[in-house]
Chains A and B, each alone.
With several copies, the nearest count.
Chain A
């Protein structure tokens, strides 16, 4: 229901923009929807969707696999933070696209390099969010852990992890958005499937109706991922509802 309302608002804004600009660079929504519905009949459309979904999912998993421990270690141990944070700060601002050649040389031009590129892009915001989250854990709980002689594994499982779980979901939400919106970078080479590829290719052809229907798909893919993430959060953070 609320998503219907949100979609309506976006459509209204879109119509307004299309009407104001009166230019083919912003086609009217109904034209795009017609095109989209027609293209849903083709198997190719689903391949674009699936390829992108696969790359994003793998990229996010890979990024979190490294970002969660990095952020936790940096947030928890001051001495290590003194080393980790400056490195994060120095590497975060690098324009990842400029490193495309390196990724290609190291990981080839196949899916692996695309996934790693996505992972590298979202690793940094995820690691910073998680580090900041760990730093905000109330000192009372950390004292409690010390007082009850929890082993590092238990501190992780019983204190740190549940305390930052909401942050991890928050950073998931941030990274989903980022990784979808940078798909075009990673699907810009040696790709024949993927929404990023489809969008850029349509753009190169100045085929704005096609480009916008790709964008709508991307947007819906994002919305779907967000609904999943919000749902999983409600499941695994039980106390949040109390």
Chain B
């Protein structure tokens, strides 16, 4: 661990002299609260200071992001454990290196209390499906309806075709503006389901760049922990078309210093994924997680 001041001083001096450009890293982002530290780091110049030229590509569609990752169009991307598991099983060598912090409230037309069975919109092969069970299974019988497109899922709830649905922040807050009730379940999930994954080739060829990437992330998280308003500001800035009213109503997660899910939790998700897809995953967490970058 080099002292930060030294690193930044070095880069600024060197930049003016050397002609050799910084190593580059292309990372896919989603319009989710998870992305705040990354954009904050970019905005503050932390990436270049740490010696990596990062390009953040914002995807509006999870499937396209996943495809870009599979085809090596990006070095890494914000994804989730369920996707990581299915991909790894399908011979797409991906490695999770960093848990990110997201938030997935429910939206409902009214309180769910008193209902026996609840119809809920979610996506089938997705962490939202897992979360839905975690949130509701103890108290209700869940009737799942799979609607992949988030705006479509929202309308299904608004129009009363569904009792509730699960939505990532900041989208949940947009839905709340439509008069829906936002239900937040503190403490669920026990560990983060979202994760940054890099392709195997990126890990092999750009190890030091990825290391710098994580260090910069850590610095950004520290900033956000000190002042959560920074996260709101940067999200409002980088996510197109966010209604201003959402700025103060969105439910921010607690941003954590670089970390990875525990083996136990990962195994639980592997088992759960198997029940949803109907396939058996003989995977060890170590096959898809690489803790080298988050070790202090």
Residues of A within 8 A of B (CB): 23-25, 97, 100-102, 104-105, 108-109, 188-192, 200-208, 210
Contact = CB atoms under 8 A, between A and B. Distances in A.
Given A189-B152, A205-B31, A109 B147 contact: yes
Contacts of B8: none
Interface centre among A23, A101, A206, A210 (most CB of B within 10 A): A206
A64 B196 CA distance: 42
Given A101-B67, A104-B71, A189 B61 contact: yes
A200 B126 CA distance: 13
A206 B243 CA distance: 9
B67 A188 contact: no
A104 B67 contact: yes
Nearest to B57: A190
Contacts of B31: 204-205
B9 to A, nearest CB: 34
B185 interface: no
A204 B150 contact: yes
Contacts of A188: 60-61, 64, 147-149
Given A104-B71, A104-B152, A205-B171, A189 B125 contact: no
Interface residues of B, number: 53
Interface stretch (B156-164, B200-208, B219-227, B284-292): B156-164
A8 to B, nearest CB: 28
Interface in B217-261: 239-243
A210 B156 contact: no
B37 interface: no
B145 A109 contact: yes
Given A25-B71, A109-B147, A189-B68, A101 B154 contact: yes
Interface centre among B147, B178, B241 (most CB of A within 10 A): B241
Contact of B59 (A101, A102, A189, A206): A189
B202 to A, nearest CB: 16
A188 B61 CA distance: 7
17 contacts: A24-B92, A24-B178, A25-B155, A104-B155, A105-B155, A105-B158, A109-B68, A189-B156, A190-B145, A190-B156, A192-B146, A204-B151, A204-B171, A205-B174, A206-B92, A206-B151, A208-B90
A206 B171 contact: yes
Interface centre among B59, B158, B174 (most CB of A within 10 A): B158
Interface string B63-101: 111111011110000000001001101111000000000
B64 A201 contact: no
A109 B156 CA distance: 8
Interface centre among B68, B147, B152 (most CB of A within 10 A): B152
Contacts of A105: 71-72, 155, 158-159
B104 to A, nearest CB: 16
B242 A205 contact: yes
B124 interface: yes
Contacts of A207: 86, 90, 241, 243, 277, 279
A101 B70 contact: yes
Nearest to B66: A206
A105 B199 CA distance: 14
Interface in B122-140: 123-126
B87 A206 contact: yes
Contact of B175 (A25, A202, A204, A206): A206
A189 B148 contact: yes
A119 to B, nearest CB: 18
Given A108-B73, A108-B161, A205 B125 contact: yes
A200 B63 CA distance: 9
Nearest to A191: B146
A100 B68 CA distance: 9
A196 B68 CA distance: 19
Given A100-B151, A189-B152, A189-B153, 6 more contacts: A24-B70, A104-B155, A105-B155, A189-B149, A201-B241, A206-B151
B223 to A, nearest CB: 25
B61 A104 contact: no
Contacts of A202: 240-241
What are the 3 closest A-B residue pairs judged by CB atoms, nearest first? A101-B155, A207-B241, A189-B64
B146 A190 contact: yes
Given A101-B155, A109-B147, A189-B152, A203 B242 contact: no
B73 A205 contact: no
A203 B149 CA distance: 10
A97 B60 CA distance: 14
A234 to B, nearest CB: 41
Nearest to B243: A207
